[in-house]
Amino acid sequence: MRRWGLAFGLGFLWAPILLLVAYAFSADRIPFQWGGFSLRWFAALAENERMLEAAWLSLRIAAGSATLAVLLGGLAGWALSRLGPFRGRALFGTLAGAPLVLPEVVTGLSLLLLFVALQGVLGWPANRGALTVLLAHATVGMAYVAVVVQARLAGFDRSLEEAAADLGASPFTVFRTITLPLIAPALAAGWLLAFTLSLDDVVVASFVSGPAGTTLPMLVFSALRMGVTPEVNALAAVILAVVGLLVGLAGLILQRSRRNLPGAG
């Protein structure tokens, strides 16, 4: 029974994706109807200026926010896992985990109101756009990275770090030579996670962005509202391929690193 359930579930998840990729190569104007093999929609994508601009913008925002997310989320995850009770730990933990459970519309709206308030009080940010989207995405990404780092740190116990200290390493050296290498895979996976989340987000970006900051998802969303076109299909196929590759990489990194855990594998 369960094997059928698993097969059905996986089929349900994958069928639309595989169909989408297959029909991206269809020459027919009408999406999801087969008209012979063709790459014309991919070619059309490459010539679509607006789309290429949005894609480039999204990639830069994603990379920037992911990097920020890893720095902040790494510290947050490490603090929650290794610092023991410190003042305000409960609040810190709640705030760090909030973006994970808040509905996107709430996150988006509240961040926009923040930027507006800041503008009123400080005069910055003068214009909302790529920067504000980057900051918003970093905030959300940080929550995910913190979770991944915490999970990774939970997997090996303090005795490694304590042994290093006992052998004469200062706290910073311990962090540099022991902790960091061990959580590096989690940080890498976290970066990829935050990156794909940023590339995928439409709600938060719509709220906090401005006139010059149209991201790719925002573009795709407004296109989809009007119905599916073959270009959108082809675009979806490309996004799928890129993200799929990144995720496969993350999975490989995590799997290979698991062998380094003491007592694992």
Partner 1 sequence: MRRLLLLAPPWLWLLLFVAAPVLILLAIGLAEPAEGVPPFLPPIGWEAGHPVWQGSGASLATLTEDDWYALAFLRSLRVAGMSAGLCLLLAYPMALGIARARPSRRLPLLLLVLLPFWTGFLPRVGAWIGLLRDGGWVNGVLMGLGLVQEPVPLLYSDAALLIGMVHAYLPFAVLPLTAALLRLDPALEEAAADLGASPFTVFRTVTFPLSLPGAAAGFLLVFIPAAGEFVIPSLLGPPEAQLVGRVLWDEFFQNRDWPLASALAVALLVALILPIRLFQRLEAKP
- Name residues contacting partner 1, limited to 150-189 (CB under 8 A): 171-172
| Residue 10 backbone class (left: φ over 0; alpha: ψ -120 to 50; beta: rest) | alpha
- 11 sits near partner 1 (criterion: CB under 8 A): no
For partner 1, which stretch binds (CB under 8 A), given 44-52, 58-66, 97-105, 178-186?
A: 97-105
- 228 near partner 1 (CB under 8 A): yes
Using the rule CB under 8 A, give the single segment among 43-51, 52-60, 157-165, 201-209 that binds partner 1: 201-209
Neighbours of 252 (CB within 10 A): 12
How far is C-alpha 53 from the chain's CA centre?
20
CA 192 to chain centroid: 6
At closest approach, how far in Å is the CB of 98 from partner 1?
5
Q: How far is the CB of 124 from partner 1 (least distance, A)?
A: 13
Q: Which stretch binds partner 1 (CB under 8 A): 18-26, 46-54, 161-169, 179-187?
A: 18-26
Number of residues that bind partner 1 (CB under 8 A): 85
Residues in the chain: 265
**Angle between the N-to-C axes of helices 2-24 and 230-258, in degrees from 0 to 180, rounded to the nearest 10:** 130
Cβ contacts of 138 within 8 Å, gap of 6 or more: 64, 65, 66, 68, 69, 72, 194
Q: Measured from the CB of residue 84, what is the shortest distance to partner 1 in angstroms? A: 10
- Position 71 contacts partner 1 (CB under 8 A): yes
Task: Please give the Cα distance from 61 to 72 (Å, whole number).
Answer: 16
3-state helix, strand, coil in the chain (%, to 5): 80, 0, 20
Radius of gyration of the chain (CA): 22
> Which position among 46, 95, 249, 264 is part of the footprint of partner 1 (CB under 8 A)?
95
Shortest Cβ 72–partner 1 spacing (Å)? 5
Candidate residues 45, 133, 149, 236; the one interacting with partner 1 per rule CB under 8 A: 236
Asked if 233 is part of the footprint of partner 1 (rule: CB under 8 A), the reply reads yes
**Which range touches partner 1 (CB under 8 A), out of 44-52, 57-65, 157-165, 222-230?**
222-230
Q: Is it true that the peptide bond before 125 is cis, omega within 30 degrees of 0?
A: yes
Q: Phi and psi at residue 86, in whole multiples of 5°?
A: -130, 165
Query: Interacting stretch for partner 1, rule CB under 8 A, among 47-55, 66-74, 158-166, 182-190?
Result: 66-74
**What residues from 115 to 134 belong to the interface with partner 1 (CB under 8 A)?**
116-117, 120
